[in-house]
Amino acid sequence: GGADDVLADPVRAAESAARVLAERTGAERHDLALVLGSGWGTAVEAMEVLAEVPADEVPGFTAPAVAGHVPVFRSVRIGSSDRRALVLGSRTHLYEGRGVRAVAHGVRTAAAAGCRGVVLTNGCGGLDPAYSPGQPVLISDHLNLTGRSPLEGATFVDLTDLYSRRWRDVAREVDASLAEGVYAQFPGPHYETPAEVRMAGVLGASLVGMSTALEAIAARAAGLEVLGLSLVTNLAAGVGDQPLSHEEVVEAGREAGPRIGALLAQVVER
Ligand SMILES: Nc1nc2[nH]c(I)nc2c(=O)[nH]1
């Protein structure tokens, strides 16, 4: 009900969400969109916020207040330019059960708002024991282990350069030490078993998470250039010798804030 009825026609829903955002932010179009995953929230604090729109006032988005905090969409200035980025206020995970249309609505709204690219960030588990919690990793490609597609009907989309090599080169100019990895999206909400983590490794993944892959496919289908950035907040189950506590995951994300915030700001300014 409510937000999801709007999503019965995904294209029209994205257009009406983009229209509301244009009216409320005063920006007829935005140049790029940012989806902030766990640990990436502080990135926007360094940016100049020009307008805020509560997520539950944008068609197709629900905004469960998390601890009283109502998620907002932010229109921010990119560096000192007059280009603007749209920081999406809410992200829907597949595990919420709202369906793939809700998962893809954010990037479709970004495309309808005039964005030419989207930076998808997330918190994830790392399979490489050399990864340290709090380390950002460039996503070079993904394994979609959800068994789903955000696309419906005969919409065949080429995914050869899904995670833009051009944008990854830009990111490496900003930080040459950035590692790259293949991201495997599991449906969640449960974490992987050690055997599933080993399986993902055998299949070529070095990052495991519960988001991003479906959003990236929908973004590409909508014509957006895509950059994916993971924050390894924990070593995936079975990697390393002790189960990480949630507190350590939160702490790793908080400590990484300044570094990944600067990285994101510099990448989008290029
Ligand atoms: N699937 C999966 N998702 C995650 N999100 C975070 I933060 N850590 C993990 C993890 O270890 N596995």
Nearest atom in ligand 1 to 126's CA: 11
Q: How far is CA 240 from CA 125, 181, 225, 236, in A?
A: 11, 18, 35, 8
CB-defined site of ligand 1, < 6 Å = 38, 123-125, 186, 188, 191-192, 208-210, 233-234, 236, 249
d(CA 67, CA 90): 14
Closest by CA to 123, choosing from 250, 247, 243, 225, is: 250
Distance from Cα 209 to the centre of ligand 1, integer Å: 5
Q: Is the pTM of this model over 0.90?
A: yes
10-residue block means of pLDDT along the chain (270 residues)? 82 98 97 93 88 95 76 94 93 96 98 98 94 94 98 96 97 97 97 96 98 98 98 90 72 86 92
Identify the DSSP state of 62: -
Task: Report how far residue 10's alpha carbon sits from residue 101's, in angstroms, rounded to the nearest whole number.
Answer: 7
The pLDDT assigned to 262 comes to 92
pLDDT at 248: 75
The ipTM, to two decimals, is 0.96
* Distance in Å, CA 126 to ligand 1 centroid: 8
Sign of CA dihedral 232, 237, 243, 247: positive
What does the pLDDT read at residue 46?
A: 84
Choice from 131, 210, 254 to test ligand 1 binding pocket (greatest atom count within 8 A of CB)? 210
Measured by CA distance, the residue closest to atom 5 of ligand 1 is 124
Is residue 95 within 8 Å of residue 187, measured between CB atoms? yes
Ligand 1 mean position to 188 CA, how many Å?
9
Helical packing angle, 213-221 and 100-112, nearest 10°: 40
Total number of residues shown for the chain: 270
Positions annotated as catalytic residues are 192
- Atom 2 in ligand 1: residue holding the nearest Cα: 209
176 token code pair: 């040459």
